Structure 1
């Protein structure tokens, strides 16, 4: 049985397009993989505290006497989050574009799971990711259009950052379901959502084909 971690980070609750998309992606994935075990993390509700000096204590065991009470609390949180990340075979992450980047809530989560010896390590040849073998599907939502021009690509630090950081962790299969132009009028929003639905269906078909191939093998 594979494990899927469903993460939302939008602050817009039921008004969020990225939340709508992650729910649809998870439903499609489960349809293609009926035995999938799903867990859910809402970073807008359960937001990790931003990274601090106290949060650096993950280099020691969570209950180490060398840690202060504050460090022990922060360490326990980081340990829970990185363990949950490492246990997942598939992650579906809602990542809206906020001020050309990702929500601070999502960044705080990433800062907690970026741990030497857990998700990456340094060697004499440079850093090596330790969290490979996962599939990460990002539901990317944007008010403007950034994917169709060099100027737009230069402005966005959302998809580019997520692909970079997860690649640093060793994850090579990072997929994006994108809905952009959401703030450019109703017609543009409808077109963006329709395009996202096509991407979700295509992703579902790929997943179903992979599942069938695994059965045949």
Structure 2
């Protein structure tokens, strides 16, 4: 059976638009492909930030790690395994202070592993996580996909850059924006996201 990796990050729980839309998209994609959904909720179960032990461990071969390092690297190893096992990936985040939630950054720190998800070659870095489609759901109070505020959207350029670095270059973005502009704007944004979800899952 194929697998779909859903990564959500908003601490707003059921009130979160990015959580809802990304979950709806994951369900629609899974219904199309028959994939099992593996959901990582970075707000409900925050990842440990990389510390001295973990950063030492991920730079060593397994046989060279101390017992503490072997234990510390287990979270990163599991996240990397989940990434490689997925056929499709859905990432949901709100735009907070012009970028992603910190949980997403921590997840990326755990999965960006030299020699495992990317490597350096004589021709330059090469991403090793290939052949997977990624969908980013970005919810925001204002409009950042275009217009005067677009340069302040650091989330999508950052995610596309780091995902591309590890080999994930086929990326679609679903914007759910203008959520601070009143009930009608919210309704319009959700309707647009639903239409986009149906289009992507068709």
- Specify the TM-score bucket, using the shorter chain as the normaliser: over 0.9
The answer as to whether partners of 2:118 and 2:165 remain within 8 angstroms in 1 is yes
Q: Is the 8 A contact 2:10 2:94 kept in 1?
A: yes
- CA distance 1:12–1:141, change in 2 (3 Å): same
The aligned residue for residue 50 of structure 1 is: 49
CA distance in 2, matches of 1:160, 1:171: 13
- Cα distance in 2, alignment partners of residues 24 and 68 from structure 1: 41
Unaligned runs of at least 5 residues, structure 1: 206-217
| Corresponding position of 2:155 | 158
Q: Cα deviation per residue 1:169-203 (whole Å; 9 max; x = unaligned)?
A: 11121111110011121111111111111111110
CA distance in 2, matches of 1:65, 1:119: 20
Q: Secondary structure of the residue that 2:73 maps to in structure 1? A: helix
- Cα distance between partner residues in 2 of 1:36 and 1:176: 21
Alignment of 1:161-172 (within 5 A): 161-172=158-169
- Secondary structure of the residue aligned to 1:59 is coil
Confirm or deny: 8 A CA contact 1:58 1:79 kept in the other structure.
no
TM-score norm. by structure 1 comes to 0.88
* 1:37 to 2:22 alignment: no
Distance 2:3 2:83 in 1: 10
Structure 2 equivalent of residue 4 of structure 1: 4
Structure 2 unaligned spans of 5+: none
Aligned alpha-carbon RMSD (Å): 1.4
Q: CA deviation at 1:108?
A: 0.3
Distance, in Å, in 2 between the alignment partners of 1:202 and 1:9 is: 24
8 Å CA contact retained: 1:120, 1:170: yes
Matches of residues 78-117 of structure 1 in structure 2 within 5 Å?
Answer: 78-117=76-115
Alignment partner, residue 195 of structure 1:
192
| TM-score of the aligned structures, taking structure 2 as reference length | 0.94
- Matched residue, 2:17: 17
Distance 1:19 1:66 in 2: 37
Number of aligned residues: 201
Shift of 1:68: 5.3
Shift of 1:47: 1.3
